[in-house]
Amino acid sequence: MVLGLPEASLRPFVDRYVGYRERADVPLVRREPAGVFVVLILGWGAPLDVTDPRSAERGVTTVDSFVAGTFDSWCTTRTVGVGEGVELLLAPLTARRLLGLPLNELTNRAVGVGQLPGRWLDRLRDRLAEAPGWPERFAVLDRVLAARLVASPPVDPRLEWAWRWLVAGGGRGSVGVLADELGWSRRHLASRFRQEVGLPPKMAARLLRFQRAHAASIQVGAAGRAVDWAAVAAGCGYYDQSHLIRDFHQFAGATPAALLAAR
């Protein structure tokens, strides 16, 4: 893996580039937890399958480059061979601007980049594959993504503010309070979130809490310490440990302890 830092003007939108080269001599299957983010993979090696166990129609097979919208459950990826590419994790409203389409069109779906409007991601993938090294690839990403953002209209600032409000609170704030702050009804807020973010605000808040708990458990486990799951639940805004376990089952397909042990 090679990490790249975007140019300064992009950092409010993209926190990092992840370049990778990976060899799998036998099929490599990963369980991918849900998250309120959009995954963009631009690859030029062994193809991947992305599978949502709830519905085969939501996944995509034998692609080296794809976009996965916001998911409210886990999925799996499968590959064999030598894969190489770049991964970006994008906040929903950034992805909405870069992709040029409302994210409700990608909710719980993974699609090959060739299916998206304009085929600009196809051309970007080709440029990345032809570049001589990772610094040159990251420079190409800087130029192309900056140009896309300049050319795209900004999202509704009230929606942008609502997203930042949820993120700042780690998903712990009341959706009713958020609607009141905006001067919107809860129904209107939910409708706008579904269209532009891909998920209603209550589900987005749950996923933000889960992401925080998941990251905290990995950090503690990586340090070689036993995880106090009750403390993690309380610190991430869960009512109790059972609610945390429920979210891990739904969003990662396993209990917190089983998921940590599998890592």
189: containing domain: 157-262
At which of 90, 119, 151 does a domain end?
A: 151
Average pLDDT over residues 156-162: 94
Identify the residue with better confidence: 261 or 232: 232
pLDDT digits (tens, 9 = 90+) for 171-196: 988 999 999 999 999 999 999 999 99
Radius of gyration of the chain (CA): 19
Query: What is the C-alpha to C-alpha distance for residues 224 and 197, in angstroms, rounded to an integer?
Result: 36
- 39 in helix, strand or coil? strand
Task: State the average pLDDT over residues 14-19.
Answer: 95
Pair (142, 221) in one structural domain: no
- CATH code, 76: 2.60.120
| C-alpha–C-alpha distance, residues 91 and 38, integer Å | 6
Examine the domain organization and report whether 107 and 47 are in the same domain.
yes
What is the tens place of the pLDDT at every residue in 29-48?
999 999 999 999 999 999 99
- Please tell me the predicted confidence (pLDDT) of residue 217: 83
Average pLDDT, the chain: 93
Name the residue with tokens 């942008």: 160
Q: Are residues 122 and 74 in the same domain?
A: yes
Residue 210, pLDDT above cutoff 90:
yes
Average pLDDT over residues 191-209: 95
Query: Residue 227 — very low, low, confident or very high, per pLDDT cuts 50/70/90?
Result: confident
What pLDDT is recorded for position 132? 96
* Whether residue 164 is found in the same domain as residue 201: yes
CB atoms within 10 A of CB 141: 24
Tens of pLDDT, residue by residue over 92-151, are 999 999 999 999 999 999 999 999 988 999 999 999 999 999 999 999 999 999 999 999
Last residue in a domain, options 151, 171, 205 = 151
CATH code (residue 191): 1.10.10.60
- Confidence band for 68, pLDDT divided at 50, 70 and 90: very high
Q: Which of the 8 DSSP states describes residue 130? A: H
Same domain as 163, residue 61? no
- Given a cut of 80, whether residue 223 has pLDDT beyond it is no
What is the total count of domains within the chain?
Answer: 2
Answer yes or no: are the C-beta atoms of 123 and 148 closer than 8 Å. no
Domain boundary among 151, 174, 209: 151
- Among residues 228, 211, 209, the alpha carbon closest in space to that of 220 is found at 228
187 and 77 share a domain? no
pLDDT number for residue 212 = 92
